Structure 1
Amino acid sequence: MRFQATRPAAVAGTFYPADASRLRAQVAEYLAEVRVDAAARPPKMLVVPHAGYVYSGPVAAHAYARLAPWRRRIRRVVLLGPTHRVAVRGIAAPTVAAFDTPLGAVRIDRDALTALADLAQVVAHDAAHAAEHALEVQLPFLQCVLDDFALVPLAVGHVTPQAVAEVVERLWGGDETLVVVSTDLSHYLPYDQARAVDTATVQHILQLDPALDHEQACGATPLAGALLVAKSRGLRPRLLDVRNSGDTTGDRRRVVGYCAIAFAAADGGDAADGGDRALGRALTRRARNAIHGALALARVDEPQHDALQRPGATFVTLQRGGELRGCIGSLEAWRRLDDDVRRNAHAAAFRDPRFAPLQRHEVDALRIEVSLIGASHALAARSEAEALQALRPGVDGVILEWRGRRATFLPQVWEQLPQPHAFLAALKRKAGLAGEFWAADLRIARYGVRKFTETMHA
């Protein structure tokens, strides 16, 4: 059978611009605000929001920006989201040949949908797709960050997560296939309540826990099914952004929550976290050798890793007997990751002004921790109260700047200072300011880290 029909764009002009040039410029602007970690692994699955672009576009961009390095490799996108307007018993597949947007038509992978024909939970249902925005709003982002790709759009209605997982497993494919789950988080709660609910929901997702309900996420069913597969396949989630419409538009009375999460396999395979372990060994052993070399001690083997040749930023933290022994790092990726970790390890051991240079007798008991620093993002905080509300304890590394004074705390510092007010006050003091200081031109940014630890004799 040859399929000719095209589903026209239903929410162009409302959820996103209907003019192609304006749409492309808006997506490009959101993507330009995101700096991708040079050591990031290619994502196999993304969780993204689906509100109007002015509300959730900046959050979604954090996920889609990670696809650009793999734009030629990803040739098929399996896109799952909830049904908002038409009740469906099962998982709705379209019969059309393409989905249209102002940027052009996206062809449907009819062969993939045919391969699902024997599954009772998959039903042909064009009406479920006709006005559905949850899938459509993802397409312009995908069109901007990928080259030629085919789409498998599935609108998930009343069905079990296990039934969704069965479909995802069948479509899993290899490196050419990306799975995208479209969901918002809490709906129409006051700002502070929404932040608390969404933080708990995100923790469930990061723990690959499918026990989600539709109060936590409107796309709870497709998300739960995808999480079942992610767990069985050994994917590792990474939180890229979590905000709500109060953060993106300023109206905090009744907000909708959004998150962007990437799931990646280890070194392109399905082992649980071997990719991070390999990178961690490569980084910590280079840090160790930088210290050993300066003290004329024997070197250890250094495994190779592709990320080492790309720009990267690290902090190297040294501890001895549970006490800090040195910490020096970079916040900007301006040199090769290989060079950055070696230089920061040497500086932490011998040039941290708070400590005497490391001695040979201290090396055996030394604990080395390397934090790989992600891109920083400015907080749009007009007051200290807004800054404190925006900070995510246990998640954010924080940079504070004011008129030439600058200081940072890694996310690990939250373990000693779990309250945002105390955390920020201590960061101000580190920058040479009073703990209660605030100024209109004071700037705060946050960043994430991937942390790797290894003892000197491991």
Structure 2
Amino acid sequence: MVENDVITSADQISEEEGKALVYLARRSIEEYLNSGKIIDLTEIPYENWKKKGASFVTLENRYTGQLRGCIGSIIPVRLLYQDVIRNAIAAATEDPRFLSVIPEELSDIRVKVSVLSYPEPLEFRDPQDLINKIKPFKDGLIIRYGNYQGTFLPDVWEQIPDKQLFLSNLCVKAGMPSDCWLKYPIKVYKYRTKTFSE
């Protein structure tokens, strides 16, 4: 990994860049829903957008706060601005939990973009050690076992502030039993996010 070419810390993204990413995400969704086209930028306004970056795009009902779609990348695989475009369209049209967003809904939807730091392995001896090392409301977590993998953004702590419940729900999200973190030799990675919202 060449540091200069990858967003390694979410703090690299300024407020101005983040707000522009949110605007880009909304424009991408509008264009795709109305014309079926994926937009691309002829000029890239920020240097950080030209680096590989991992992002999540979350859509919520702006009145109730209810989730309407959320898709993202955990590892940087494409340029940050391209990742946001792709995940914005996917959050609106490919989240298996929801029907595709329709253009008439867009005025009721709030768009949020989270930029992720590069995930780091979380070393732990046993389940209690894992519990002790997790920082609620700060750490996003990835758990992995064989072909199973799941992640929760740090935002999820607001719904599930209990560490044990957080891990149990994450196991289920990854397609495993809720006690996988107690019984399986799982790998855990942590990351931080910086979230920008309309």
Scaled by the length of structure 1, the TM-score of the pair is 0.39
Partner of 1:385: 128
RMSD: 2.2
Partner of 1:278: 16
Answering whether residue 85 of structure 2 is matched by residue 347 of structure 1, we say no
Amino acid in structure 2 at the alignment position of 1:446: K
1:312 to 53, 65, 68: 53
Separation (CA, whole Å) in 2 of partners of 1:389 and 1:374: 21
Separation (CA, whole Å) in 2 of partners of 1:38 and 1:415: 22
Amino acid in structure 2 at the alignment position of 1:442: I
Q: What secondary structure, in the 3-state scheme, does the structure 2 residue paired with 1:311 have? A: coil
2:25 to 273, 287, 309: 287
Partner of 1:112: none
Separation (CA, whole Å) in 2 of partners of 1:445 and 1:290: 30
Separation (CA, whole Å) in 1 of partners of 2:11 and 2:155: 20
Partner of 1:367: 110
Amino acid in structure 2 at the alignment position of 1:447: Y
Separation (CA, whole Å) in 2 of partners of 1:303 and 1:323: 32
Answering whether residue 160 of structure 2 is matched by residue 422 of structure 1, we say no
2:8 to 21, 26, 37: 37
Larger Rg: 1
Q: Any stretches of 5+ residues in structure 1 without a counterpart?
A: 1-31, 42-274
Q: CA shift at 1:382, angstroms?
A: 2.1
Q: What secondary structure, in the 3-state scheme, does the structure 2 residue paired with 1:335 have? A: coil
The 1:358–1:440 alpha-carbon spacing in structure 2 relative to 1, beyond 3 Å, is closer
Partner of 1:444: 188
Scaled by the length of structure 2, the TM-score of the pair is 0.87
Q: Any stretches of 5+ residues in structure 2 without a counterpart?
A: none
1:258-273 pair list within 5 angstroms: none
**Sequence identity (%):** 35
Partner of 1:453: 197
Separation (CA, whole Å) in 1 of partners of 2:104 and 2:16: 29
Partner of 1:401: 144
What count of residue pairs does the alignment treat as equivalent? Answer: 185
The superposition leaves residues 68-89 of structure 1 with CA deviations (integer Å, 9 ceiling, x where unpaired) of xxxxxxxxxxxxxxxxxxxxxx
Q: What secondary structure, in the 3-state scheme, does the structure 2 residue paired with 1:421 have? A: helix
